[in-house]
Structure 1
């Protein structure tokens, strides 16, 4: 894709993102939830193919589309094309790498090699929704939560904790190994947040797991990572299908030199 074509895509999709609220609500009987992509175009193409094969009516990406992978620009372009074709069924949440502080340093800026497109890309990122609620009960976000807060108060301007925070087995809000500003939220904070907002489950991304996913807090929080072979590791990826009141987790990884395939599908769990 040429720089002109990407610029046009950014202009068109920025208008869509601007109209979407910080907290977007999704109704779907068969939703696909995807974690970090990080410039892995082969993973993205595989996931889109699987969505079609599974007849998912919507697909929700949890952020971190660029950086650390070889094809950040191609991944971004593909996602923006998908958004234009299905503005109501393709949901793109903002991740912590959809910020200039991160994507100037971890590969996207260097690959893009154009300051004006870099500024335009990050302006589009700033307009993206921060979180989503699927079918009124499943909270989706890239990172985590700042505490037991009302989700109706989530804003695009003050999104940092939703992009950066992580779950922890320790009670309360505790310091994070990621730096000074990020924090970790414990099971008590999580339970209070879920009760306050009448939610049953949370899905998030942000953390690279060797097996592609992990469950937290008595299987009420699912953390997904959807970029196999991330940064030279031999990890697999995972995605989830939320179908009616059941959640299924699927693991996928390399099946050949240039292809991915599903390795295992977990047993269904009630949301």
Structure 2
């Protein structure tokens, strides 16, 4: 599993304050939820891919990190095309039980693109942000409770361990002769049992970590100092404003093209 954060800290947007990057990502994605058309998220994806080098993230790295997102978007599109109840619009394909219309295709495409457009900003932010800087910025700039911020830091530090533990559980099961072979039903059963074992291990590790953190005074309630200062400057404010303007521009283009479909109303 890829690690959280990246070493490309010299990239222009990677150097920005973590709270500013979080705020920009949140405001950019909130605007995408205002419409149901496929044009707005498509424009948003183009913008996100265009600014990718500014975050110091390579396109190959983005694919490596976000491939489950692409699989999920494809699954949503296929499910809607096959099982949608409403078949409005012009018939494009009528092949037995499969009936694809322009309305169904537009809805499936819009939802898939929106999923990618909403998730990509989060991937960019966390791929270009050091977890320690994020925790420090949440405490200093967002005034988040230290218990929450330090817990968030601990969670990010433990995420890469899940991939390693999954491999260990799988190897241990194969060593004991638990293998699905080419049976798809057995593969689903083995996957479920492995996921359950991973969940149990994660809960145990989290409980031990919480106890250790409490024993070290992380929940003492006394004021804590910060070793590294996180400054929210003018450039950080420009990042937030720029995200709002880009999201608004995507919505304006959708309105001008006549494809805007408000979520409410």
Normalization by structure 2: what TM-score? 0.28
Greater share of residues in helix: 2
Which of the two has greater strand per residue?
Answer: 1
**Larger Cα-atom Rg:** 2
Structure scoring higher RCO (CA < 8 A, sep ≥ 6) equals 2
